[in-house]
Amino acid sequence: MAEEPIVAQTGPYQVELEEGKAYFYCRCGRSKTQPFCDGAHQGTGIEPLRFVAETTGTFNLCGCKSTDDEPFCDGSHNIL
């Protein structure tokens, strides 16, 4: 059975993404390299999300791990 994700921070991480590059978004909240995976999910039953940036730019990635628009922030942290 998978553990519950933990809130890494109660707001988004503003990050620069590069078009065409693959990233691994942390879903467990345990990574020390938020919002990206560092392997800290091992044994939690939670896997990171691999995604490819569609465009280059600054994006808000979810920090609370409650978004319905992974990996992007959808404002879910406002109702935690």
pLDDT of residue 2: 84
Enter the pTM of the model.
0.95
Distance CA 65, CA 52 (A): 19
Amino acid at 36: F
Show me where the domains of the chain are located. 1-80
Quick: pLDDT tens for 40-60. 999 999 999 999 999 999 999
Under 8 Å between Cβ of 17 and 65:
no
For residue 13, the 8-state DSSP code is E
